[in-house]
Amino acid sequence: MPKDAGIGASSKRREDIRFLTGTGNYTDDINIRGQAYVHFLRSDVAHGKLTSVDTSAAQGMPGVLRVFTGDDFADVGGLPCGWQVTDRHGQPMQEPAHPVLARGKVRHVGDPIAAVVAETREQARDAAEAIEVEIEDLPAVVDMKAALADGATKVHDDLTSNLCYDWGFVEENREAVDEAIKSAAHVTTLELVNNRLVANPMEPRVAVGDFNRATGDSTLYTTSQNPHVIRLLMGAFVLGIPEHKLRVVAPDVGGGFGSKIYHYAEEAFCTFAAKALNRPVKWTSTRSEAFMSDAHGRDHVTKIELALDADNNFTALRTETYANMGAYLSTFAPSIPTWLHGTLMAGNYKTPLIYVNVKAVFTNTVPVDAYRGAGRPEATFQLERVIDKAARELGVDPIELRRQNFVTEFPYATPVAVEYDTGDYNATMDKLLEMVDLSGFEARLAESKKNGKLRGLGVNCYIEACGIAPSNLVGQLGARAGLYESATVRVNATGGITVMTGSHSHGQGHETSFAQVIADMIGIDESMVEVEHGDTANTPMGMGTYGSRSLAVGGSAMVRATEKIISKARKIAAHLLEASEADIELKDGQFSVAGTDKSVAWGDVTLAAYVPHNYPLEDLEPGLEETAFYDPANFTYPAGAYACEVEVDPETGKVTIDRFAAADDFGNVVNPMIVEGQVHGGLAQGIGQALLENCAYDEDGQLLSASYMDYAMPRADDVPFYQVDHSCQTPCTHNPLGVKGCGEAGAIGSPPAVVNAVVDALQRDGRDITHIDMPLTPSRVWTAMSQG
Amino acid sequence: MPQVSMTVNGKPASGEIEGRTLLVEFLRDNLGLTGTHVGCDTSQCGACVVHVDGQAVKACAMFAAEAEGAEVLTIEGVAAEDGTLDPVQQAFQDHHGLQCGFCTPGMVMSAKALLAENPTPTEAEIRDYLEGNICRCTGYHNIVKAIMAASGQDVSGIAAE
């Protein structure tokens, strides 16, 4: 039976009321008295020497307060990178400077050259047009392999080449993997592209800087998934403001999907300019600016080889990937193609030998960083595509080939450094097959044929590492930050609770689901718990929300803090009841003495804590407020099996998703309604990657897809109703809620299902087509069909 | 600067504008009605949909001056005076038809316009009508479901739940 409250209940979201009535408080809704506006003049060429930036005409335009250029930031730090990768030879990656405003050179279309601050947005925009910029064009570095060729133009003149790092993992396995592939009964090889995407949260980025001259305090309102991280990075590395003089507020944030993790130049600019001008300074990104300044995602070019023995057991896996970093290193960019990608190459399978090589490359394109899934979709796509191809080459059922190689015993230590705590991959596959009505496929195929359409079925599995992350482990891997999470639980005198979490909600519904957890632990109504997040002034230092970590890490911190609250409240109750603490039981918000009818209510205990007239003051402090920091012992490993059924129109190449089913194991689930919504959204993004979305540059580094006229976002008529299930639950063994995280699964698991389905449809039609690169647009499918 | 006057959510509203001021800018900047959002520059995303004289309009694709004398309804004017949600708003909450909430005002305004002209739309009709409203969070599943539910259709059989 579904529960109607607490953990496991589909409680309706309380945050919906403000969003549905237009009373949310997004960053662009914040306007501070006296605020000025900034417009950034951005490079319209991919690569060039900045020979002159003449701002004199602009400076005299109506309403202009000041025009800033790179020289104004000469004494300010550049944007820092938060992760240092060590290459195959033990050397640190090449790490270029990343100035707030370009100096000397521009390195991608959209690189900010100058910033005009004026009384109105329009005046700032008008004045920016009067800035005279002279750029001496340099050859644009766009293609990754060409970027690494001898004599290639360098994106950064002070680096030795365009190679950021050449990473090998696990380097000690390299020769054994080569040997196993050489001696294998069968090797399947696949070369593929994981297309560059743009996260595209519907709310464009916004920053409002404010400065109080009387106190010397700076405040930044920004569209961020992790305000404390921005405070630390911007304060310590860019502007030199200590945390106690810098407040960062990320209020209602309209989606992130990774792109709002990073510290961006515009945030530092608005904070800096507010102080320089003693005026609040606001920047609101346009959508086309977002396309050329938000960090992009994916953009891998990969060759993968899977070796099998004569019985079709996987014996070795070898990959070589070129990963695009763009022109500068975004905050967490180096970690994505390495630790969030290489460590997932075992997938759901017991392949004993794995070697992953990644060459990260600088190009004259927008920086690339995490986008929903971040490394794990890239790992899943290549692995699940090569397994599908192997099954077809060997003439075996792709589902059975997967099952035969599943990891079935847990914990399982992979050859790529991670240990899966729990899972049951056969259970999710069984559930999936139950959902998709496999027995009806032939009839549906016949019906499609009758209508002149092709039909195909694609199935795949996925695993991801979430609950990011054990700090000591990621520290060894190059992270320059800890990845714990925090919570303060403040119980008020009359029993209501305010929770301050370091996690951040930008669509995930934490205000509802986090309250469910605490209410359930104490046995009080959910309405008695309020969740606050997003303001460094009133929340403990937290690392924010990404990597499907909020409930697994932030929720665990909240549980730990609540346990401390309950422990103290139990002592107070024992005093009030004149009983031994060991005999006190908490149930439904009542503390009672075991085996008696003596009890005190939650509210009596909380009141006693703040009105300590009858209170054990010699043993306990008054008050009831606790903070906990939780650092996870391991990652969590959500996994599942996905199936997609497509129709292909052979006349046009258009692919239509007929049905999509997802069977996920997220461990325990707090709010099933929210979890299903997270999966739906991930599926649409994965289907978008597979069929529609592509961030395209031409050979001169011009961004061809810089608006919704050119970048194909999934729309309502591109996707079906999805079948989703999360009833297979193997709870995480190392966090107190047994949860694994659900935010990225849909985007990780769905692209290979779609491509496998299209290849299946084409092969059933007798065509010798083994792969088409995403997105599978009508043009690409039609072209492949006309050649295959 | 020219002056513009219109009725917004049943109340008279006027202000000084530039000729190039868009309706969405007038609503947000002059009137402080920040529920109407701007998500793109090309009239593609639909986060800014409002009703002008009963018609769904993208407020980023209309000058404020063009709304002179018009009756404008924004998301702030949809719920009852006492805060009771309109059936479309209520269905969006009941069926989890929103996550980050940024596209939601436009979605609700579009859904209301659809139901005004087609009281019981099919799934396909809803998906087709929402072609000009982009949501990045929900995958549209629960939006379509919420609109079907708001129109009084039984949605209990839609996918696993």
pLDDT in tens, B25-40: 999 999 999 999 999 9
Above 50 in pLDDT, residue B160?
no
- What's the residue count for chain B? 161
B160 is a domain residue: no
| φ, ψ of residue A531 in degrees (nearest 5) | -110, 125
First-last CA distance in chain A:
52
Distances (CA, A) of A137 to A50, A639, A705, A706, A752: 9, 48, 22, 21, 40
Q: Which structure tokens are listed for A243?
A: 């945390």
Contacts of A286 in chain B (CB under 8 A): 41
Contact indicator for B30, B41 with CB cutoff of 8 Å: no
Q: Which structure tokens are listed for A561?
A: 């803090």
| Binary contact (B35, A286; C-beta < 8 A) | no
CATH assignment at residue B54: 3.10.20.30
Q: Which residues pair with A206 in a beta bridge?
A: A284
Nearest CB to B85; choose among A20, A676, A680: A20
Dihedral of CA A438/A440/A443/A449: which sign? negative
Q: Among B59, B77, B95, give the residue marking a domain's end.
A: B77
User: A716: distance to nearest CA of chain B, Å?
Assistant: 5
| Binary contact (B142, A677; C-beta < 8 A) | yes
My answer on whether B67 and B127 are in the same domain is no
My answer on whether B140 and B94 are in the same domain is yes
My answer on whether B46 and B26 are in the same domain is yes
Average pLDDT over residues A567-578: 98
My answer on whether B72 and B97 are in the same domain is no
Q: SS3 for A660-699, per residue? A: EEEEEECECCCCHHHHHHHHHHHHHHHHHHHHCCCCCECC
In a 10 Å sphere around its CB, with 0-12 CB exposed, 13-18 middle and 19+ buried, how is residue A122 labelled?
Answer: middle
Dihedral of CA A335/A379/A508/A708: which sign? positive
Q: Which structure tokens are listed for A117?
A: 């601050």
Average pLDDT over residues A693-710: 98
B95 is a domain residue: yes
User: B41: distance to nearest CA of chain A, Å?
Assistant: 6
Q: Among B42, B77, B112, give the residue marking a domain's end.
A: B77
Over chain A, what is the mean pLDDT?
97
User: B79: distance to nearest CA of chain A, Å?
Assistant: 7
B156 is a domain residue: no
My answer on whether B29 and B59 are in the same domain is yes
B50 is a domain residue: yes
Give all domains of chain A, ordered by start, each with its CATH number. 19-138+202-255+260-293 (3.90.1170.50), 296-469+634-787 (3.30.365.10), 484-630 (3.30.365.10)
Contact indicator for A72, A104 with CB cutoff of 8 Å: no
Complex ipTM over 0.85: yes
Average pLDDT over residues A618-643: 97
Nearest of B137, B148, B126 to residue A677 by alpha carbon: B137
My answer on whether B92 and B141 are in the same domain is yes
Average pLDDT over residues B90-100: 98
Nearest CB to B100; choose among A255, A676, A682: A255
In a 10 Å sphere around its CB, with 0-12 CB exposed, 13-18 middle and 19+ buried, how is residue A312 labelled?
Answer: middle
Nearest of B117, B94, B158 to residue B125 by alpha carbon: B117
In a 10 Å sphere around its CB, with 0-12 CB exposed, 13-18 middle and 19+ buried, how is residue A232 labelled?
Answer: buried
Q: What is the pLDDT of residue B161?
A: 41
My answer on whether B55 and B95 are in the same domain is no
| Binary contact (B98, A19; C-beta < 8 A) | yes
Nearest CB to A24; choose among B99, B101, B123: B101
My answer on whether B7 and B73 are in the same domain is yes
Query: Which of B99, B114, B128, B131 to mutate to probe the A interface, most A CBs <10 Å?
Result: B99
Average pLDDT over residues B148-160: 89
Domain of residue B29 covers 3-77
Q: Which residues pair with A146 in a beta bridge?
A: none
Measure the CA–CA gap between A581 and A571, rounded to whole angstroms.
Answer: 6
Size of interface A-B (CB pairs under 8 A): 194
Measure the CA–CA gap between B40 and A204, rounded to whole angstroms.
Answer: 8
Strands A353-362 and A639-648: unpaired
Cα angle vertex A778, ends A772, A784, to 5°? 40
Nearest of A150, A748, A184, A645 to residue A437 by alpha carbon: A645
pLDDT confidence bin for A3, thresholds 50/70/90: confident
CA-CA-CA-CA torsion for A155, A157, A160, A162, nearest 10 degrees?
0
Average pLDDT over residues A561-587: 98
| Binary contact (A20, B93; C-beta < 8 A) | yes
Q: How many domains does chain B have?
A: 2
Measure the CA–CA gap between A710 and A707, rounded to whole angstroms.
Answer: 6
B17 is a domain residue: yes
Q: Which structure tokens are listed for A459?
A: 């199935």
B8 is a domain residue: yes
Q: What is the pLDDT of residue A2?
A: 66
What DSSP string describes B9-46? TTEEEEEE--TT-BHHHIIIIIS--TTS----SSS-S-
pLDDT confidence bin for B1, thresholds 50/70/90: confident
What DSSP string describes A603-622? HHHHHHHHSTTSS-TTT--S
My answer on whether B93 and B144 are in the same domain is yes
User: A201: distance to nearest CA of chain B, Å?
Assistant: 6
Q: What is the pLDDT of residue A1?
A: 52
List all residues 6 or more positions away from A198 whose beta carbon is below 8 Å from its beta carbon.
A259, A290, A291, A294, A296, A297, A371, A693, A695, A705, A711
Q: Which stretches within chain B are classed as H helix?
A: 23-25, 87-94, 104-117, 123-129, 141-150
CB-side exposure of A363: number of CA atoms within 13 Å? 31
Above 90 in pLDDT, residue B20?
yes
Contacts of A506 in chain B (CB under 8 A): 100
Residue of A nearest to B97 (CA): A677
Residue of B nearest to A25 (CA): B34
DSSP state of A634: S
Judged by DSSP in three states, A354 sits in strand
pLDDT confidence bin for A614, thresholds 50/70/90: very high
Contacts of B34 in chain A (CB under 8 A): 22, 26, 28-29
Above 50 in pLDDT, residue B152?
yes
CATH assignment at residue B113: 1.10.150.120
pLDDT, tens only, A289-328: 999 999 999 999 999 999 999 999 999 999 999 999 999 9
Above 80 in pLDDT, residue A788?
no
B157 is a domain residue: no
User: A493: distance to nearest CA of chain B, Å?
Assistant: 30
Q: What is the pLDDT of residue A4?
A: 86
Residue of B nearest to A663 (CA): B160
Contact indicator for A78, A100 with CB cutoff of 8 Å: yes
Q: Among B77, B111, B141, give the residue marking a domain's end.
A: B77
Average pLDDT over residues A265-270: 98
Above 70 in pLDDT, residue A40?
yes
My answer on whether B91 and B135 are in the same domain is yes
My answer on whether B45 and B108 are in the same domain is no
B155 is a domain residue: no
My answer on whether B7 and B60 are in the same domain is yes
Average pLDDT over residues B4-10: 98
Measure the CA–CA gap between B58 and B38, rounded to whole angstroms.
Answer: 10
Contact indicator for B95, B76 with CB cutoff of 8 Å: no
